[in-house]
Structure 1
Amino acid sequence: MATGDSLADDLDRFGVPHRSMPGMLAPTQLADDPDYARSLGFHPDGKPLPELEELGRGAVVGRIFAGLAAERAATDMLALSSDFRPDIVVRESTEFGGYLTAESLGVPCVTLDAAPLQVTRDPGMLPWLNESRVAIGLPPVNDTSTLTRHPWISWMPDLWHPADTQSAAHRYYRGPDEASDPLDPAIAQLPAGGPFVVATLGSVSGHMLTSDTSPLRRIVEALGSLPCTAVVALGRGSDVSTWAGPRPANVHLASFVQQPLLLQACDLFVTHAGFGGVREALTAGVPMVALPLYAEQPANAQRLTELGLGVTVDAHEAGTTTIAAACREVLDDPSYRFAARAFRRRLLGLPTISQLVADLTALGI
């Protein structure tokens, strides 16, 4: 495992051997290198520059992930490979340093798709991809076909992928079951008061949003108006005691929740439609109300709606009444629950992570 220093403690805790890549900075570290942050399209505090919003989706992915960030990551990985030559490179779909490393070493590059509806193969990213290729001594390419030369692993069944996003490289597997400690007693012992609802905006949005742009306050107010028991995660590192928003009696506020575990006991998930949360909810067979914010989240929310798995509302414009009405619709109409349960069956029918490991091993022999 090669990654940035910010993840070293987590990997040590899980006993995963790893190599440090000093050039790979986490969003919270961008202030340490303001020029680098701006080259990716961000202020040093991690907020996007206005010019980033003016680019097409493919160009945004290219500038953030496939240009200088990929070049720096590949430089670090190639330095590591001088004493450890891999047989295969396994990368995450928005991490292009691994792709460049595999291209340089002439080994297979397997992609784990962490955001299937993100435009990680869009022609608009080519200028940045070629910039990073040339920087490490590779020739430029005319299209993105080299990205799918080897298996592209999805954690969703083919139903999730619109036909124009699929490729011959796609392989479908069931994601790993996430081990977890027992559920937080304060949540486990919440009273039975109608449907149980979980709401969270993920682990990254807290760095991207301000109190004025976040829909969290409206979500809490909306859930407080419904006959339900709800848990709302304010964001890892937030202090619940300093929350200045509403505190309805039926809404339990937390900074962080054990999301995969909690979704197993959930009737509705209110989400920003990040892929991780969407996959976890569908793995548990839970329908959703989506308030997409940025990146591929609008595409994820649209797909949820198309497949009858939930309802989408505008995260920036929707008021408390609109959000409450969307939650009520999904809770009251059993078709959403039926669709989510049917999708879960498709997920359960996919090959397991153990099969993926066996397939990767065979590829490297």
Structure 2
Amino acid sequence: MYRMQSSFMGLMKLFLPGGVEDTDRTWLSSVESTRWLDHVRLVLDGALKIARVLELEGASALVHCSDGWDRTAQLCALAQLIIDPYYRTIRGFATLVEKDWLAFGHKYAERCGSDRNRDPQRNKSSPIMFQFIDAVWQMQRQYPRSFEFNERFLLHLANALTSGLYGTFMYDSRLQRDVNEVKYNSVSVWTPVLMKPELYSNSNYEMHDGPIWPWVSCKMMRLWENYFFQWHPKFYKCQWACSLVYHGLSSSRGSTSNGDKDRENAQQQTPHRDASHVKDPPALDLLATPITSSIAEENGDLDVPIISLSSEDEDSSKRVRTASGTYTQKAPKRNIFGLTRGSRQRAQSEENGSQEVC
């Protein structure tokens, strides 16, 4: 536990301002010295051994650690991901977390450091749950078509561990969550996922009926840069175009797919609501609700703000293919610094060089 805490904190310090300069030639060795990737590899290797015993040998496996809510949850959950394709779906993964982590008593308040009144000398925080999510991302890299959810889904869960925006990862047991009525006083981490599944779905997903066998060699371990660099100012500037596309689509109305790539249904824009005023249904009720699209537009065409790479003015009506579906753009467009932007996008015009809202 303490080794994981030291490894994770040492890695996070490398991404803080003033930690390591971009020109520092020892940055890679500094990352290696934290041994974070080696710890993730060992967890994956243990889960792979369990999966081989169950799937290939047809035998039973007893998994046990000192308490039963840290390493046991990691290894058992990862082994089930390897063997059972259901847990590689959005609903299956939510069920896996609810079952092996929440119901079996992983101490989120203690491990994620959410208890601010705890004595610092008795600090038992450790990134056990995050290490599990990192291991899932490592498998997703090797089998990009075998998971129904995308990387944004994993980033959503990883950030929810410490953000305090959702009640799912609060307190140390189910009893504490029931006593504090977390189900009624907070929003579930699965609510935004099940309300907008197209944002968290893998467009290249193909149902793989059987186990997957990830390669757990050190050669295959990668640093999860989209998590560790997500708040770095230079990384954000490099990703600004993708960020604009993401925010434009997430705030617009579009089509969504429930697994059939050929079926597209129009979906109306959902108005933004403050999370503190959302009455969140129980997680099991949400998991029991089928993922379908919302109300379709009468005319079938949707006005969607689009950002696309372009150097010339194009026709005002254009079919644009995105990860979550095909959209029809009818808004007038303007050529701005090599980017074609739709309505409601703030930009600097080429004609007068002034700030305006298109």
TM-score normalized by structure 2?
0.30
Query: Which is greater in Rg?
Result: 2
TM-score normalised to structure 1 length: 0.30
